[in-house]
Amino acid sequence: MRQTLDLHLLGAVASQSNPFPMRLLRRIPLLVAIGVFRLVHWWLDALLAEEARLSWEGGLWCGVDEEVEAACGDGVVSSSNEMQELWPLGEVDQKGTRFPCCIVWTPLPVVSWLAPYIGHVGIAREDGTVMDFAGSNFVSVDDLAYGSAARYLQLDRRKCCFPANLAAHVCARSYEHSEAGTAISWDDALQSGARRFEHKCYNLFTCNSHSFVASCLNRLAYGGSVGWNVLNLAALVWLRGRWLGKMAVVRSLLPFAAVACVGVLMAGWSFLIGMAAFSSLLLGWFVLGVYCFKGLVC
């Protein structure tokens, strides 16, 4: 009995004399959270730098637009303000689910509960009808998969390039645009993208709804760029998109908050470590697939 008591006393003294490991273990969740925050911060900085580059190229694109119109005269069809005057866009009808020339976003079941920045996107035609890559060999029309839209971003058609021929390009990357595919109107670009993705297999990690919308933006040469991909598209929607009311925020973020709280109560702080690791692996996969191993993520 006395020996057992002595062992307990020695253990208590040892733990008090060397508290560093216990403090380190308690700070592991905080260190992991800081690491994830820095990774996301680096990712956003890189995407903002890419957006600034696109904006700068957009300025060049406007100058090229004027030069092409001056050189080609009235015989060349261009994509300047004339199209905006001929086909004015209607207002966004949230109740009627009409989003003219918009990108829309909705949360994904289960995946968005663990990583709320992951979701399903679609792109709308000029009349507001939403098109989205909903499954293998299937592009849905006017029926957004996984529920109604929660966020939207209306795009400006004046930042697109609709060349009737190679000489009518108004973007700075005419040859790259021709290789990516061109269109003579907004709806024509979406229809061409839909025909292409009707022959593709859906995969969350390699070919998803973001891939379809990015392909349409490349056909439009939106912002004078044909370098749209799943990452800068997701950043564009999250940084510039708008919520469709308070209920959209609740149904998008409440499941994530509920899962996090229940997980911490049942498994402790290690559950948050697992969620942070899942988000880091998911983000890292798309960074590698888009920028390091090109062609892995379409």
Q: Residue 119 forms beta bridges with which residues?
A: 107
Predicted confidence at residue 22, as pLDDT, reads 53
Under DSSP, is residue 174 helix (H, G, I), strand (E, B) or coil?
A: helix
Predicted confidence at residue 165, as pLDDT, reads 64
Dump pLDDT digits (tens) for 175-210: 677 777 788 889 999 999 999 999 999 999 999 999
What distance in Å separates the CA atoms of residue 158 and residue 48, rounded to the nearest whole number?
Answer: 22
Q: Residue 242 forms beta bridges with which residues?
A: 152
Predicted confidence at residue 87, as pLDDT, reads 67
Query: Strand 130-135 to strand 151-154: parallel, antiparallel, or no bridges (unpaired)?
Result: unpaired
Task: Identify whether the C-beta of residue 132 lies closer than 8 Å to the C-beta of residue 209.
Answer: yes
Task: Identify whether the C-beta of residue 275 lies closer than 8 Å to the C-beta of residue 263.
Answer: yes
Nearest to 43 by CA among 292, 297, 283, 229: 283
Task: Identify whether the C-beta of residue 147 lies closer than 8 Å to the C-beta of residue 154.
Answer: no
Chain centroid, CA 32 distance in Å:
24
What distance in Å separates the CA atoms of residue 294 and residue 298, rounded to the nearest whole number?
Answer: 8
Chain centroid, CA 91 distance in Å:
24
**CA distances (Å), 156 to each of 61, 80, 100, 122, 181, in order?**
14, 11, 10, 16, 19
Predicted confidence at residue 40, as pLDDT, reads 54
Under DSSP, is residue 163 helix (H, G, I), strand (E, B) or coil?
A: coil
DSSP 91: P
Region of 182 please: left (phi>0), alpha (psi -120 to 50) or beta: beta
DSSP 289: I
- What are the sequence ranges of the domains in the chain? 92-258+266-292
First to last CA, the chain: 69
Predicted confidence at residue 161, as pLDDT, reads 84
Q: Residue 138 forms beta bridges with which residues?
A: 135
Task: Identify whether the C-beta of residue 283 lies closer than 8 Å to the C-beta of residue 116.
Answer: no
Residues of the chain with pLDDT below 50 are 1-18, 20, 24-25, 52, 54-82, 84
Dump pLDDT digits (tens) for 150-171: 999 999 988 888 876 665 566 6
What distance in Å separates the CA atoms of residue 227 and residue 214, rounded to the nearest whole number?
Answer: 8
Under DSSP, is residue 134 helix (H, G, I), strand (E, B) or coil?
A: strand
Site of tokens 């995407």: 47
